Structure 1
Amino acid sequence: MTTQPEVSSSAPYRSERYNPQEIEPKWQARWAELKLYETDLESDQEPFYYLTMFPYPSGDLHIGHWYAFSIPDAYARFKRMRGLNVLFPMGFDAFGLPAENAAIKAARQGGSVHPATLTYERMAHMERQFAKMGASFDWSKKVVTCDPGYYRWNQLFFLRMLERGLAYRKASFVNWDPVDQTVLANEQVVNGRGERSGALVERRLMPQWHFKITAYAEELLDFSGLDWPEKVKLMQTNWIGRSEGAEVRFKTESGDELVVFTTRPDTLWGVTFMVLAPEHPLVEKLTTPEQREAVARYVKAASHLSEIERQATDKEKTGEFTGAFAINPVNGERVPIWIADYVMMGYGTGAVMAVPAHDERDFAFARAFGLPVKPVIAASEGAEVDGEAMTEAYTGDGVMVNSGPFDGTPTGKGTPEGIHKVIAWLEAKGKGKGTVTYRLRDWLISRQRYWGTPIPVLYCDRCGLVPEREENLPVLLPEDVAFMPTGESPLKHHAGFLNATCPSCGGPAQRETDTMDTFVDSSWYWFRYLSPDLQDAPIDRQRARRWTPVDQYTGGIEHAILHLLYARFFTKVLRDLGFVDVDEPFKRLRNQGMILGEDNEKMSKSRGNVVNPDDLVAEYGADTVRAYLMFIGPWEAGGPWSSTGIEGVARFLNRVWALLTEPVEATGGDPETRKALRRAVHHAIKEVTEDLEAFGFNTAVAELMTLTNAMSRAKPALAGTDVWEEATEALLLLLAPIAPHLADELWERSGRAGSVHQQVWPTPDEGALVQDTVTIAVQVSGKRRGEVTVPKGADDAAVLAAAKAEPNVARHLENAQVVREIVVPGRLVNIVVRK
């Protein structure tokens, strides 16, 4: 006798067309009214701090923003339903060049626009767009970096760092854009020109403010306890560039000392020339009259190249002989001194010893200019070494040759005996010492622009450089400024800002007109989200102790050696200044890839391949755009946009709608149908949970499609039964982070109470996942001829009987002699025959 399935008493669905343009505004307003996503930071519930990199207020959310924010939003929703007290705030990285350049452009056209006005208008517009995305940000914790209530704390940190010697001012060579009238980072110089202005960049020696990030170089190399992508850790490690070696003291023939750092002091006997950076202070003094014109021309040409361009490995080697010579301290040989743009003043000492026989860059330079190549390391004892015959540098391990007292000593990076012995010899002779250097340079924070944090120092004729008093903070940006067509900072000409009183003597003083690099703003903002309205301190230390480090951080890998490195440095500084108690900013980091155009190229207006998310929302709804961005591929990889792909996802969500709204007369189904549906449901719960935890959004969407198909097959038999209601509830809960509006609408229409986003995430019933049967492949003489489904645990005789009864298998057994029968339990049957 068959038992009738239990029928749910939930309210019936109302069948009508899926209309996201009607549904989505309704739920966005409901969520805002309920303050559904405001986090109680004092709750006893387990905290989970989830953060994605805040945007610059550009004015419009493009499809890249959607990829960077809607998918993390799904993760935040998922973690809330997992029972965690999720803090998922948002704000704006609001200072920077674009808004100020808009003001300058208006000035050139005879108009007027203020960066603050433009910035706040753009932020308001983007907040409205975020709402249309269905984002679950906690806007009550919003941080805006151009607000004086925020940047006053940048100034406080600066003053405390100045006290500790972690902020200082010195003359540095910088990339100067004569059109934008400011210093540019190396990354902002392309082919010797400003990335934005297109102007030929100049290398200038200017007084600049720096943060001493090098003081933390060794600590920044320690990534223990951080769940970060290996690629990011490697990029930071290489950027910091720790090198062990020796400082060696050469002298010029005129008696000036030239100190070089080398990781291979064992090759000192192979030095055949030296190279100085074009900016080296000794270049002008050393250059002979005959070479002066050529050297000056070369120095000027080098000043128009960025450091990245100068160090490109595929760049043709260029240089100029100064006419001067230095003396090699280990053998007294006279070596010519050249200048070349691949040597940088910021790396090491700005002078290198060149060993062309054992360094690829030096070898290329030597061959380009006909300089000697002298081998001092042989691959093995007795191996012939001929510098003139060499076609490439030998950089492997070996034994020292032509090296005076060290001939025959094993040496190299793998066998460093020679390196250690030569360092000891140099120290004993007073000609050098062992040391460690870093490629990392101190962070230059000065910017000659208006729209940034004013640097809180003054210059007094009597007292010199004087820090502003902390009680006078913030040093405010004046609002009544005139932007000049030249692009020069208006702070330099604003009498009310420029002219001030010395905090030390009370006499007249002038304010610093440089502002801080905007990366300062983003180097601590996650701490401020915890107490955005706190007046007497930048950070609520007790809250920071409970909520930080951030549990999960997401954003683009392009920030690996700028924002992410600066954030780690700043956290360690704030710890040492007593503001926080943590060593690192973010426990776990995940990076998203890039969405490309349908032509597989980076989206740009010039290529005509830009996808406008506002148009997509108008056509398909936000949930479809969200779900397609998740389905497009692994989040960390990105991928090309596909107009046919989004159509497929739109059809999927329409199927979900129809599945749960269109009535059907159910037949009741049999036990096997019920078991199959429950198995599909709990398999989906298990897989989607694991996928979302691992940021596998594309496979989670695929699994939901599979579940929907299984429910479609089962609906005619099981609609309205307890098993169907279980499946319906599971589908909506699993769909909620991905398509939040649709899930909440169907949850309400099904008669279920509250918002779907306030429900508990489902857990799989392991019992439902157990299969009673197993499908086994059947081969005849090694060729697959069919498959059979048998009870799990069936003995070999029963499996063989079922296999032989399979029609296609039986056909291949006709008129054949069975010579062997092989049963691999649960997997395979192979019947070997002879015809």
Structure 2
Amino acid sequence: MKEYTPAKIEQKWQKIWEEEKMFETPQFSDKDKYYVLVMFPYPSGTLHVGHVKNYVIGDIVARYKKMKGFNVLHPFGYDAFGLPAENAAIKNRIHPEDWTLKNIETIRNQIKKIGISYDWNREIKTCSEDYYKWTQWLFLKLYEKGLAYKKKGAVNWCPSCQTVLANEQVKDGKCERCGTEVTIKHLEQWYFKITEYAERLLKDIEKLKGWPEHVKTMQKNWIGKSVGAEIDFPVKDLDMKIRVFTTRPDTLWGVTFMALAPESPLVELLVTDDRKEGLEKFLKKVSLEDRFKRTSTEAEKEGYFLGRYAINPVNGEHIPIYVANYILYEYGTGAIMAVPAHDQRDFEFARKYNLPIRVVIDNPEKHLEPDTMNGAYESDGIMINSGPFDGINNKEAIDKITKYLEEKGIGKKSVQYKLRDWLISRQRYWGAPIPIIYCDECGTVPVPEKDLPVKLPKNVEFLPTGKSPLLSNQQFINTVCPKCGKPAKRDVDTMDTFVDSSWYYLRYINPRLDDMAFKTEDVNYWLPVDQYIGGVEHAVLHLLYSRFITKVLYDLGYVNFEEPFTNLFTQGMIYKDGWKMSKSKGNVVSPDDMILKYGADTLRTYILFMAPPEKDAEWSEAGIEGVHRFLKRLWNNFYTILPAIKEETSENVLVKNKAEKELRRKLHQSIKKITEDIEGGFKFNTAIAGLMEFNNHLSEYLNSTPQNEWNVPLLKEIGENLCLILSPFAPHMAEEMWHDLGKSTFIVKENWPSYDKNALEIDEITIVVQINGKVRGKVVVPANETEENIKKAALQNPKIASYTKNKQIIKIIFVPNKLMNIVVK
């Protein structure tokens, strides 16, 4: 019998597939298109098996859809810009480009060893000039539309990495990468005006029928829509106003202080000179806290008085202005009117700092007294201490008060979102340069499209100074104004890597075009992506930014679709020793090691068999060993029957006995199950379990039936179909078996098998019989037998009759095709 040698077989077919350009995709086809995409990796080093899971899931879908007759696009690339490369440059004295390209080469080789069916002809790297040229073009398009602008804003600052951090890069007040305590800085930064699309992004979530509900909920919460009123509070002794947003204008007469977020630029503007030193200490303390933990209901409420007072526009009261740790700059205006009687966090703050508490919504059942309140009253009630609105139910008063504010010119109805504009500036080298020039004569000037790309210079100094490394290259900085021709300066910041990944799914369509980012006709054929696969950690920002950019391009007429991803699947993680795999934990399992030991097909199959693919799973050496034994048994069964079936020419399968009929039924039952498991929610683990179960049935048949009595046409049908249904999971093994059958075609270009409904029919069924809930026997009856005759057969069965003899039958409970419970006493 032919020996199963994974290394030899897999290298052989990978080489042939590459030579035959097996997975290159035609740009157009008469077939229906299917675009399957996995989130591309950051090339920070070698892959571990946790990374591989994502790619294997995508490959199953791609191979299956090809066999179902689709024109499948299955591309791959690298999210290749970013801070880790720059840190490596500083640490190892290696250029970020060299470090990145070396890692890309490693990852590409790893993935090819796994046998993933990527169209490598479409490979992209976001750090390549032919890619980031069009990232810069995208910036210019947003700038032209008024969606890219510059302003001073509060940012997370890592003193060690010397760079701006996004909120998700700050964990427990520290830099996720280096662990240094993060501070707050106010810098001039570029932003994309994603807030202009907030309502569309929120509303169109309902269109995402193929997305997991928890991901849609995360996006809704991130956008965070609230309906309320904007109200202006004048600042005493200053010619300025503080604008607040509130969903509770009914509590306006109960305001006793104001509170600003620590990140608000107003803090520095409002603090009096004698309070500055104390403010600096307070802000330093707050900067060490996690922004979102400090705003939780359980966190201690802390603040600092700025020495200023605001004027309540409805009653003229002077109210102190504080900066408070529980106010989040990302929500509303970053300032609140504090109503301690009716907001628990305000109540706790007021009690701590001995601030007044005024009830303006009374409990209808028990009059509230501020001095005896143990907490805020946050339910509905009757308005009191509220001027013209006393005696009205507070819910009814909200609209009336909002109209009153508009009439008085002190406020207006407003819709606010927790979503903030997208900060894209980074004080880094390894990113796409922002295509902006600053001219003393002309001001801010966008780089003309014909001059793109603004290239990254190679010669820069990588020093942790807190400023862009591009400042060290005067040749890059100094340029001429494209408008007036006078000396000018380039912007020295680069773009957030989320910009690169916000549109990469479009570039795969025309990856080699040098005169445009993509052809509209081509992307309108291929997109939206039919199946997107990636980690839930990207459920908010990456997906939200991609949706935003797609809508902008739709509005500009470049695409005819508003949502980029029709279906989304978020895979679970692979753990080892109870922890997510990571180099720092020392629990990484290398796919290279597993391929060397067991083969790529075993690795692929085990990764899918471990658990439902959306669930986390614990790596087990015993588990992968078990899957390897299964594949060897299947291989052995196939090569046991191969000599007989290879020469068989008959296509007619006639079953001669019960065993053959049952074996054929199991085959078609397996085809049906595996098809439904792939189509119906990526149930790959149960699909593989179905393969294992069928292989056991085949083993039973071969072990119990003499070779001269084999039904060879039936075994031929089994051999061919086994290759086909195995091929998405273990493609190298299936290809080898297929060609050893004498086939000249490639298996991925064959049609996925259909099942014979007639073969699924069964002649007999087994009914489990219980007496008072305990199993006492079984009866075998014709599949279409009536309930009455089944009851008779059970009661006449000698074993069952021994339990009912001399007993009264109270009732008989019958579950069709499964069991019968006879209740006696």
TM-score range, shorter chain: over 0.9
Whether the aligned pair in 1 keeps the contact of 2:67 and 2:750 (CA below 8 Å) is: yes
- Partner residue of 2:675 out of 689, 696, 718: 689
Secondary structure in structure 2 of the residue aligned to 1:223 = helix
Q: Which amino acid aligns with 1:705?
A: M
Identify the range of structure 1 (814-823 vs 199-208) with the bigger mean alpha-carbon deviation.
814-823
Q: Are 1:714 and 2:701 counterparts?
A: yes
Offset at 1:602?
1.9
Offset at 1:795?
4.0
| Structure 1 residues 768 and 118: alpha-carbon distance in aligned structure 2, compared to 1, 3 A threshold | same
Give the equivalent residue in structure 2 for 1:612. Answer: 590
Secondary structure in structure 2 of the residue aligned to 1:326 = strand
Q: Mapping of 1:127-142 within 5 angstroms?
A: 127-142=108-123
Offset at 1:382?
4.4
Secondary structure in structure 2 of the residue aligned to 1:246 = strand
Secondary structure in structure 2 of the residue aligned to 1:337 = strand
Cα separation, 2, equivalents of 1:259 and 1:391: 30
Give the equivalent residue in structure 2 for 1:144. Answer: 125
Unaligned runs of 5+ in 1: 1-14, 108-112
Q: Are 1:662 and 2:655 counterparts?
A: no
1:682-702 CA-partner distances (Å, limit 9, x unpaired) = 111111111111111111111
Give the equivalent residue in structure 2 for 1:744. Answer: 735
CA RMSD of aligned residues (A): 2.4
| Structure 1 residues 819 and 209: alpha-carbon distance in aligned structure 2, compared to 1, 3 A threshold | closer
Q: TM-score, with normalisation over the residues of structure 2? A: 0.93
1:171-203 CA-partner distances (Å, limit 9, x unpaired) = 111122233232111222234333223334332
Give the equivalent residue in structure 1 for 2:245. Answer: 261
Cα separation, 2, equivalents of 1:326 and 1:820: 80
State the number of aligned residues: 808
Give the equivalent residue in structure 2 for 1:581. Answer: 560
Secondary structure in structure 2 of the residue aligned to 1:356 = coil
Offset at 1:518?
0.9
Q: Are 1:723 and 2:714 counterparts?
A: yes
| Structure 1 residues 782 and 603: alpha-carbon distance in aligned structure 2, compared to 1, 3 A threshold | closer
Offset at 1:449?
1.0
Q: Are 1:703 and 2:690 counterparts?
A: yes
Cα separation, 1, equivalents of 2:787 and 2:296: 68
Identify the range of structure 1 (713-722 vs 635-644) with the bigger mean alpha-carbon deviation.
713-722
- Partner residue of 1:388 out of 371, 374, 381: 371
Q: Which amino acid aligns with 1:481?
A: V
Unaligned runs of 5+ in 2: 645-653
- Partner residue of 2:277 out of 277, 282, 293: 293
Cα separation, 1, equivalents of 2:122 and 2:311: 64
Q: Are 1:116 and 2:97 counterparts?
A: yes
1:595-646 CA-partner distances (Å, limit 9, x unpaired) = 111x222223443322222111111111111111111111111211122221
Whether the aligned pair in 1 keeps the contact of 2:173 and 2:291 (CA below 8 Å) is: no
Whether the aligned pair in 1 keeps the contact of 2:260 and 2:267 (CA below 8 Å) is: yes
Q: Are 1:466 and 2:448 counterparts?
A: no
Secondary structure in structure 1 of the residue aligned to 2:488 = strand
Offset at 1:71?
1.8
- Partner residue of 1:803 out of 790, 794, 797: 794
Secondary structure in structure 2 of the residue aligned to 1:484 = coil
| Structure 1 residues 392 and 746: alpha-carbon distance in aligned structure 2, compared to 1, 3 A threshold | farther
Whether the aligned pair in 2 keeps the contact of 1:483 and 1:489 (CA below 8 Å) is: no
1:180-237 CA-partner distances (Å, limit 9, x unpaired) = 2321112222343332233343322211111111111111012233221111111111
| Structure 1 residues 514 and 649: alpha-carbon distance in aligned structure 2, compared to 1, 3 A threshold | same
Offset at 1:757?
1.7
Offset at 1:511?
1.0
| Structure 1 residues 706 and 463: alpha-carbon distance in aligned structure 2, compared to 1, 3 A threshold | same
Identify the range of structure 1 (545-554 vs 339-348) with the bigger mean alpha-carbon deviation.
339-348
1:734-785 CA-partner distances (Å, limit 9, x unpaired) = 1110111111112222333322222111112111112222222323455432
- Partner residue of 1:542 out of 518, 521, 535: 521
Q: Which amino acid aligns with 1:624?
A: T
Offset at 1:828?
4.5
| Structure 1 residues 280 and 73: alpha-carbon distance in aligned structure 2, compared to 1, 3 A threshold | closer
Q: Are 1:159 and 2:146 counterparts?
A: no
1:262-316 CA-partner distances (Å, limit 9, x unpaired) = 0011111222221123354554565456644323321343345564454344432
Identify the range of structure 1 (272-281 vs 637-646) with the bigger mean alpha-carbon deviation.
272-281
Offset at 1:247?
1.0
Give the equivalent residue in structure 2 for 1:110. Answer: none
Offset at 1:367?
2.9
Secondary structure in structure 2 of the residue aligned to 1:587 = coil
Cα separation, 2, equivalents of 1:192 and 1:273: 28
Secondary structure in structure 1 of the residue aligned to 2:498 = coil
Whether the aligned pair in 2 keeps the contact of 1:673 and 1:714 (CA below 8 Å) is: yes
Cα separation, 2, equivalents of 1:819 and 1:456: 86
Whether the aligned pair in 1 keeps the contact of 2:294 and 2:300 (CA below 8 Å) is: no
Give the equivalent residue in structure 1 for 2:544. Answer: 565
Secondary structure in structure 1 of the residue aligned to 2:121 = helix
1:377-432 CA-partner distances (Å, limit 9, x unpaired) = 344x3432233333333323333333333233233xxxx42211211122222221
Offset at 1:594?
0.9
| Structure 1 residues 60 and 785: alpha-carbon distance in aligned structure 2, compared to 1, 3 A threshold | same
Q: Which amino acid aligns with 2:229?
A: A
Identify the range of structure 1 (205-214 vs 194-203) with the bigger mean alpha-carbon deviation.
194-203
Give the equivalent residue in structure 1 for 2:220. Answer: 237
Offset at 1:488?
4.7
Q: TM-score, with normalisation over the residues of structure 1? A: 0.92
Cα separation, 2, equivalents of 1:131 and 1:575: 36
Provide the identity percentage. Answer: 51
Identify the range of structure 1 (466-475 vs 355-364) with the bigger mean alpha-carbon deviation.
355-364
Q: Are 1:181 and 2:162 counterparts?
A: yes
1:319-364 CA-partner distances (Å, limit 9, x unpaired) = 1123333332223333222111332444322321111222232222
Identify the range of structure 1 (465-474 vs 770-779) with the bigger mean alpha-carbon deviation.
770-779
Whether the aligned pair in 2 keeps the contact of 1:820 and 1:831 (CA below 8 Å) is: yes
Offset at 1:801?
4.2
Give the equivalent residue in structure 2 for 1:408. Answer: 391
Q: Which amino acid aligns with 1:68?
A: N
- Partner residue of 2:618 out of 625, 640, 658: 640
Cα separation, 2, equivalents of 1:216 and 1:820: 65
Secondary structure in structure 2 of the residue aligned to 1:357 = coil
Whether the aligned pair in 1 keeps the contact of 2:478 and 2:487 (CA below 8 Å) is: yes
Q: Which amino acid aligns with 1:180?
A: C
Whether the aligned pair in 2 keeps the contact of 1:356 and 1:373 (CA below 8 Å) is: yes
1:567-610 CA-partner distances (Å, limit 9, x unpaired) = 0011111122222221111111110111111x222223443322
Cα separation, 2, equivalents of 1:789 and 1:830: 16
